[in-house]
Structure 1
Amino acid sequence: MERFALLFDVLPFAATGFGIPQYLPQITKLRRTRDPAGVSWSWATLTCVNNAAWFAYFASSGYWTALVPSSAATLLAATVAVLLTRLGRAGRRPAAGVGAWTVVLAGAVVVAGIPGLGTVLTAASIIQVTPSIVTAYRTRRPTGVSVGTWLLVLGEVSCWTMYGHYRSDPRLIALGITGITASLLMLARVQYTTKRGYRPLPSE
């Protein structure tokens, strides 16, 4: 049993390894190609906001190893959002949606403290990944999507799913399952369009 416990205790470190660099492939691709096709500005911005909130939750819950990937994700997702803004992908309506969600997170803390924030964060992953999936599937050729980023996301959330089951933390489980589903859908979309003959730009 102790061996299994040690194995599960290593999962946050593995998640950290996947999490820290996960948005670098997307940043590199946008800089090299200036091709934002299929990449959602709302997804990048919500990722920044949500990871800042997760940072507060992890710190209050004592998940110290999770602080590094959440802070890295906040910074790098913000970089993706800035690049997409420069490429003309931002808009008033998406910005209003992100602003409203930020108010919800802040309100949860004011009303119910960190436990309230944790409850709201259970739905955060769904709200975060939905724009990325919708944008990719509405785009005939999502050539701007980085496969590398979504493979790293898949690796990280898989670790958190297993760790969440180990710690009986429904918030981590919800985060993990939603992230796994989103990652597989995004990778499937890129793979499908590639097989159909819509070749993505060389930048992975």
Structure 2
Amino acid sequence: MEYLFDSLPFVATAFGIPQYLPQIRKLRRTRDPAGVSWSWAALAGVNNAAWFAYFAASGYWTALVPSTAATLLATTVAVLLTGLGCGSARAAAAVCAWAALLAGAAAVAGTRGLGTLLVAAAAVQVLPSVVTAYRTRRPTGVSAGTWLLTLGEVCCWATYGLYRGDPRLIALGATGITASLLMLARIRYTGGPAVPSAASRVAAG
């Protein structure tokens, strides 16, 4: 049984490495950003860079691979959305402020301080995606594949966190599971081809 639990980081890695690829492919193919939040993508890049530091300091070596992939690919999503007219100076300033807060927590309180702030990071990251998707009448730009892979990854981390008694991983998993289910439900009941409106582009910021 211990072997099964110890293998969860490897399973999470399999889900985590490609999780943003479906969203990247969809944006490149359709040029439709309706319902996709620029803030979510940018925050995902920042937060996963912080998770990389936390995982390295905590000895979760397997997690370094998916956190690196997520940092690079989520940033790619943000760049694509910027090219499609999403995002704003206000949103960019908020993301920079959050990145500075993470760096400050790590500098002042070390791994413990960074880990404590990362408990809130999951909610900070996924809230823009859920709000944008539910405010957009038809979030046709959102990729179900990305959120299915995210759901698989966070389920693994939640279970592994319970096994290791790590409240930070448990919080990451619980928040990610809730957000993934909300996003998949939104896609399921409002999906379908549509031409993105100007309003949906503004909401995607």
| TM-score interval (norm. to shorter) | over 0.9
Query: Among residues 72, 75, 86, which one is paired with 2:72 in the alignment?
Result: 75
Letter aligned with residue 23 of structure 1: Y
Counterparts of 2:193 and 2:106 in 1: how far apart (Å)?
A: 42
Pick from 85, 88, 92 the counterpart of residue 89 of structure 2: 92
**Percent of aligned pairs with the same residue?**
75
Please list the CA deviations of residues 11-37 of structure 1 after superposition, one character each: whole Å capped at 9, or x if unmatched: 000000000000000000000000000
User: Does 1:130 find its partner at 2:123?
Assistant: no
Is the 1:44–1:78 Cα contact (8 Å) retained in structure 2? Answer: yes
Shift of the 170–112 alpha-carbon distance from structure 1 to 2, 3 Å rule, reads: same
TM-score normalised by the chain length of structure 1: 0.94
Q: Are positions 1:200 and 2:200 aligned together?
A: no
| Structure 2 unaligned blocks of 5 or more | 195-205
Structure 1 segment 1-204 matched on structure 2, within 5 A? 4-194=1-191, 199-200=192-193
Structure 1 gaps of 5+ residues are none
Moved over 2 A (4+): none
Aligned alpha-carbon RMSD (Å): 0.7
Normalising by the residue count of structure 2, what TM-score does the alignment of the two structures yield? 0.93
Q: Which amino acid aligns with 2:114?
A: L
Contact 1:142 1:200 in 2 (8 A): no
- What letter matches 1:165 in structure 2? L
